Amino acid sequence: MDIQTFLWMTFGIFVTMATFSFLYKDNPFYKFAEHLVVGVSAGYFVIILWHNTLVPNLFQKLQDGDWYMFWLNSSNPWYVIPAILGVLMWTRFSKKYSWISRWPMALYIGLSTGIAIPLEMSNRVNKQLYAMMSSIDWSNFFGSEGFDLLSTTSGFAQLIVFV
């Protein structure tokens, strides 16, 4: 085993033991392991966001434009609008400008509500109502025997059972 593998395995064992040390009580070794996991996870997800979301979905769509024109001369300039709204969401972390982040949030919530409510009504309410309704033969409403309330062939009895 080379020295690099030995050092990384030793570090992994130390971090594992530091994590398990919380079972005894809260201590500096556990705090180190906790902060290490949170920091590495945050850095990892920033890199994943950059390479899997921003580059293919924003920068590659705008690559035919120029940066100095803020990509307004691109063939897809409307991709700049969600980018600006996404940047405005980061104002949440400023005490002075945190109110600005309410505007993109309100827009996102309004759009998703406007899309979701009609779809839910269509899928969960309207389709079930249409499936429940059946046509009634009004031409022979009382049946062939005349009006008989207890007859199962009577349309009136079928109507009562239906309701």
* Number of structural domains the chain divides into: 3
Q: Which pLDDT score, from 0 to 100, does residue 156 have?
A: 53
Q: Give the tokens for residue 23.
A: 């079972």
Q: How far is CA 82 from the centre of its chain?
A: 16
Both 79 and 54 in one domain: the answer is no
Distance between CA atoms of 144 and 153, rounded to whole angstroms? 8
**Which residue range(s) make up the domain with 90?**
66-132
27-78 per-position pLDDT tens digit? 999 999 999 999 999 999 999 999 998 888 888 888 887 776 667 778 888 8
Closest CA to 74 of 88, 53, 60: 60
Task: Indicate whether this model's pTM tops 0.85.
Answer: no
Both 44 and 78 in one domain: the answer is no
Q: Which pLDDT score, from 0 to 100, does residue 77 have?
A: 81
Both 52 and 80 in one domain: the answer is no
Both 110 and 98 in one domain: the answer is yes
Residue 151 has pLDDT above 70, yes or no: no
Q: Give the tokens for residue 1.
A: 């085993």
Neighbours of 162 (CB within 10 A): 11
